[in-house]
Structure formats: C-alpha cells, structure tokens
Structure 1
Amino acid sequence: MFKVLLIEDDASLFTEIKDRLSQWSYLVYGIQDFSQVMKEFADIQPDLVIIDIQLPKFDGFHWCRMIRSHSNVPIIFLSSRDHPTDMVMSMQLGADDFVQKPFHFDVLIAKIQAILRRVYNYSAVQNNLKTWCGAAVDFEKNTVANENGSIELTKNEIYILKLLTERKNQIVSRDEIISSLWDDKRFISDNTLTVNVNRLRKKLDEIGLGAWIETKVGQGYMAIEEDASRV
C-alpha cells in the first residue's frame, strides 16, 4: 500500500479524490497547515505527492521546489489553469506529470499507477504486502499501517496475522495455527497461542483494528474483512 500526500485546499475535491484513491488501497494524507507543508511532508514520508498549483500561503510551484530540494518522490500537479506555461514550469521544477481540472478519475489512477510502477519495484512490493481492512500488512517488515498510524509486530504475531488474513472471514482453528507454528518451531502450547493472539489484538487496537480479530470460542480465530457480515 502506497502513501499519497494530496496537497489540495479544496475540501470537497480533497475528499472526493481521497475516497476514490482509497478504493484502490492507497493511503491518502492531507495538509493541516499550509504554511508547514514541508514539516508534514517529512512526517508522512509519502511515496507520491499530488499537488495543486493554487494554494494558500505559497503556490504549488514553491512547494514542488522545496520538496525537490529534499526528495526525489514522484510529483503530479493538478491545476484548473490551462496556460501551457504552467505545464512547462511544473516539468522544469521536476514534476512527473500534470493533470488539468476537471479530470476523469480513471485517468488520474492510470497516471498514478504508471508512475509508481516506473519509480518503485512494484512486483516486489506487492509480494510482501497484503491489504486488510484498509491497512497495509508488510510481512517482510513485520508492520501494519493505516491512516491511524503504524505498528510493529513480532515474528510470531505477524505469522498469526498472515494465517488469519490469508483466509479472511473464515475460522482458522487453534489446532491448525499451533500446528503451523510448531512446524516452524515457534510454539509448543495452547496457552502460548492465547497470549500471542491477545498481544496481537492489543497492538492492532492502537490503530483501530483489534476488534477485527474475533475469537470463536471452542473453534479458533477469524480475521474479519472490513464491512463484512460477522458470523
């Protein structure tokens, strides 16, 4: 899951773009203080920036220049202005693409995907990532991240989460989990499984996901997919 910083002061447009990109499993962040764009950029560390030209305080060209002085992160400009010099200026400042408003969202998505595919090792990233309840689960880094933050899991915890999310909305028996972990020489007891699941759920609570791991008494555990019917 890639992080997108959307620098757009039009609240309705920001919400619409965020909703559309979220459907494609992108984590979209906005700017809270348009005089502190670089501080928020540093805090978020996005994989891609989408920036409007007309902004409060300083225009998009200014912030593009500032971002480029610190990072090579891909940048897409949005603009309602149709003067060719805007496009030329954005390219000269190091932007990767330019999208004129109004635009079709399919076009924006296609441009985003093309840029990410070119800039990042897309296939390698996808092999290590799984999307669950709007969060990115990274099985290589042992992390789970969403718009509420990021948590780091132990090897045991990420292994349990992997087993459960591979079969979302299905019960995975305690015996099956223990057997898998036993083969991997990590567990030997039923009580140890309970302790580790509780620790996993407590960490997931930090980013609002603890409730999506359900205990099925006498059966096992289930990773619920967001908005799915609970059984």
Structure 2
Amino acid sequence: MEKILIVEDDSKIAELLHSYFGRYGYEGRIVEKFDQVLTEFKEFEPHLVLLDINLPTFDGYYWCRQIRTVSTCPIIFISARSGDMDQVMALENGGDDYITKPFHYEVVMAKIRSHLRRVYGEYAPKIEERVVELEGLTLYPERLEVTLNDKTTVLTKKEAELLEMFLSSYPKVMSRNKILEKLWDDMIFVDDNTVSVNMTRLRKKLTELGIEGAIETVRGAGYRLNMTWNQAKS
C-alpha cells in the first residue's frame, strides 16, 4: 500500500484528505508536530508528500528542502497562495507540483495517482541500478547504501552524493566550494559549516564499515579520499 504524508495545519482539510486516501486504497498520515516534520517523514517513509506553505515554526519551503536531503519522493504543494512567485518558489525549493486552495479533492487524487505512476508505477523509467566501486568499497546511489567486506551501512541522500563525488574523482582533492556547488545549489541559505557537518557524518558512516580516516582534510585545499580500507587489506 502506497503511503502519503499530509503536512497541513488546517485540521479539517487534513482529515478530509486522509479520509479520501483511505477510500482510494492509500495509507495516509497527518503530521502532528510541525517542528519535527523531517523526523515524521523518516519514520513513516511515505511514497508522496502533500505540503502546505504556511505552517507553524518553519514554512513549507524549508521542510521541502529538508526532505530533499534524504529523499526524491514526489512533493505536491497545497496552498491558498496563488501568486506566480509562490509556485516558482515551491518548484525551485524541490517541489514537483502545486495545487491552490480551495481545490477539488478529485483533482488532488488525480495528481497524486499521476505522480505515483510516474515515479513507482507503469510510467517509471526502467533503468539499471548504478554502482560506483573503488577497491572493494561499493556505493549503490539509488539504494543509499554502501558496502565493504559484506558489511553494509545506509546513507542519507547528501552522504551518498558526497561519497559518489569522492569515489568518482579519486585521487583528486575536492574543494569546499566545489562540494557546495555540487550538492547545495538548490538551497538558498547555506552555512559554510554545512560541509564540515556532512563530512563528519559521512566519516562516521564509513567508520561503521571499519574504515578509519577514509576522508582526509587537505589544509587550504579541501578533502581527499584516503584508501585506508585498501591498505588494511594489504
């Protein structure tokens, strides 16, 4: 059963959407803690998200960007804002579609079915899974998994993109600017510390595979992949 996450603070609209989903054979879940949308997304693992713009704490644009760090699932904005720039902002921040309120629920369902078919169903592209490998360290970008010596660890989307960059460009040094350019060109506000934080997370994931010091900092230049796992085998 395909799952749909509803991020809507109007309880009446949220409940009506939820009832429609059940009627059409989908499993719906309404977000209750609007400061923990990403946490609920990770717990529920939906196939599609319906996302309002005007939300408590942070707006829908923010949460769309957060979801895009871990998933490429379809995100449909639903909002009373009908301006062209609102729709542009929604798409620029990672959304796939935009529906203005008030809306007909049948239109919402038609769009949901269309996006689900496109991504998961009959219209989904039939492509072979990509594999990026270097000296036994194997990354599966679409699965968000990396393996070494029969050990596997799960990555976030950003961690997988980072590791793919290092594996594909080895033995080159990757500058901080190049990493920001490659991974965060879809984000409006990016703290320079973001690179350090994500690098620390990736190092931790590789440590889970038994690799210590896999990514070294090159002072004044950036970061480089260090084939310590290959040295350990020798």
The TM-score with structure 1 as length reference comes to 0.52
Count of residues in Structure 1 that have an aligned counterpart in Structure 2: 124
Q: Which residue of 1 aligns with 2:56?
A: 56
Structure number with greater CO (CA < 8 Å, separation at least 6) is 1
Corresponding residue number in structure 1 for 2:11: 11
Unaligned runs of 5+ in 2: 125-234
User: Match for residue 99 of structure 2?
Assistant: 99
Residue identity in the other structure for 2:58: F
Q: In 1, distance between residues paired with 2:41 and 2:72? A: 13
Counterpart residue number, 1:174: none
Cα distance in 2, alignment partners of residues 15 and 36 from structure 1: 19
Deviation at 1:123, TM superposition (A): 9.0
Distance 2:32 2:81 in 1: 24
Letter in structure 2 aligned against 1:73: C
For the residues of structure 2 that align with 1:100 and 1:22, how far apart are their CA atoms? 22
Partner of 2:45: 45
Query: 1:121 Cα shift?
Result: 2.8
- 1:119 aligns to what? 119
What's the CA shift string for 1:14-71, capped at 9, x where partnerless? 1111111211011000112111111111000000000000000100000001001111
**What residue number does 1:90 align with?**
90
Aligned residue type for 1:67: I
Secondary structure of residue in 1 paired with 2:112: helix
Name the residue aligned to 1:77: 77
Cα 1:100/1:123, change in 2 over 3 Å: closer
Structure 1 Cα separation of the partners of residues 123 and 75 of structure 2: 21
User: 3-state SS of the aligned residue for 1:86?
Assistant: helix
- Evaluate the alpha carbon distance shift between residue 3 and residue 83 of structure 1 in structure 2; reply closer, same or farther with a 3 A threshold: same
Identity %: 44
Distance in 1, matches of 2:105 and 2:31, equals 21
**C-alpha distance in structure 1 between counterparts of 2:35 and 2:95, whole Å:** 21
Provide the rounded CA distance (Å) in 2 between the counterparts of 1:23 and 1:33.
25
Amino acid at match of 1:40: E
Superposed, which structure 2 residues align to 1:75-224 within 5 Å? Answer: 75-122=75-122
Q: Deviation at 1:83?
A: 1.1
Q: Deviations over 1:138-181 (max 9, x none)?
A: xxxxxxxxxxxxxxxxxxxxxxxxxxxxxxxxxxxxxxxxxxxx
Give the TM-score, by structure 2 length. Answer: 0.51
**Cα distance in 2, alignment partners of residues 97 and 123 from structure 1:** 17
Alignment RMSD: 1.5
- Structure 1 ranges of 4+ moved more than 4 A: none
SS class of match (2:111): helix
Question: Counterparts of 2:90 and 2:123 in 1: how far apart (Å)?
Answer: 29
